Amino acid sequence: MFHKEGQKIIFISLILVGGLFLLIDFIEIPWLIKTLQIGLLVFFILILQFFRNPKRHTQHNDTHVISPVDGKVVVIEEVKEPEYFKDKRLQVSIFMSPINVHVTRYPVGGKVVFSKYHPGKYLVAWHPKSSEENERTTVVVENQKIGKVLYRQIAGALARRIVNYAKKDMNVVQGNDAGFIKFGSRVDLFLPLDSKLKVNLDQKVKGGETIIAEL
């Protein structure tokens, strides 16, 4: 199953690869033909892998914050969140490599009370300033039981497009598709300070399934 954001790119890539396969047949060097064919197949497989959208089995729980993306936990620290809360929060950052699933999912269910896009730079996603200076979107979902949770999609050095489906006043379901970030990136979560963390630094997490914290 592939994400809708990749349908156009997959179609164009298929036509491009198919056309190049036909042109390669005019080459009279067997080893070169084989090498180019393998290279084209690898390229197409990588495109398919990047836009895959595996089904996830979310255990809905209004006291849990689940991982919005696949990747590795690279930051756990107490920080001041300057855009929306303007107070101290517990930040959990998840880095996605180009080989991870890049679908963003809602970490909690509830009502979207804030959604904003920010143009910006394309620093590497693990850079300390990427959360404030890179292209990004900030979304706050308010849950009746645990209050407000903020997540931020951040473009990386390779990412050139962030897709965000969250609109203000929408009612959203935990684990459902919230967007997509193309080609490497990171997502920050900002949680209340009394959150009970269920993950550690360098832990690999799975979007829509791994519990990040309990509130």
In this prediction, what percent of the chain has a pLDDT beyond 70?
89
The pLDDT of residue 131 is: 61
Q: What's the fold here for domain 64-214?
A: Glucose Permease (Domain IIA) (2.70.70)
Residues 188-212 have a mean pLDDT of 96
pLDDT tens for 46-94 read: 888 777 888 899 999 999 999 999 999 999 999 999 999 999 999 999 9
Query: Do 144 and 62 contact (CB within 8 A), yes or no?
Result: yes
Q: How far is CA 138 from CA 74, 91, 162, in A?
A: 19, 14, 11
Residues 113-126 have a mean pLDDT of 77
Residue 125: DSSP 8-state: T
pLDDT of 41 above 70: yes
The pLDDT of residue 25 is: 78
The pLDDT of residue 45 is: 86
Question: Residue 99: pLDDT band by 50, 70, 90 thresholds?
Answer: confident
Q: How far is CA 24 from CA 10, 40, 47, 157, in A?
A: 21, 11, 21, 33
The pLDDT of residue 54 is: 86
Question: Residue 121: pLDDT band by 50, 70, 90 thresholds?
Answer: low
Question: Residue 124: pLDDT band by 50, 70, 90 thresholds?
Answer: low
pTM over 0.85: no
- Give the catalytic positions in this structure: 185
Contacts of 34 (CB under 8 A, 6+ apart): none
Tokens, residue 57 = 């089995």
